[in-house]
Amino acid sequence: MKRILGCTLAVLLATVAFAKTEKPKLTRAQAQKIALAKAPGTVESAELEKEHGKLVWSFDIKTSRTDITEVLVNANDGSIVAVGVDG
């Protein structure tokens, strides 16, 4: 049992380390341009993160006085992964 847990933990740690060292092909500026084309407004925040196994740039964009639109841009190919509006 200890051996199985040790192997599982090692695999988990290797996966986390890989995620932290994975480099995006798109810069934040390139991804932000794509996101703003999809949801024009003012970028409130941006971060690089893993979503559903993909490296994405996540942007919170103020699109109106009350709405924030979250746009996820694939950090490797520039495709839009998801768009959601918080009212």
Each residue's pLDDT tens digit, 35-85: 999 999 999 999 999 998 999 999 999 999 999 999 999 999 999 999 999
> Looking at 8-12, 17-21, 69-73, which range is the least confident one?
8-12
pLDDT at residue number 54: 93
Beta carbons within 10 angstroms of residue 56's beta carbon? 24
The pTM score is 0.75
Is-contact 38 62, C-beta < 8 A? no
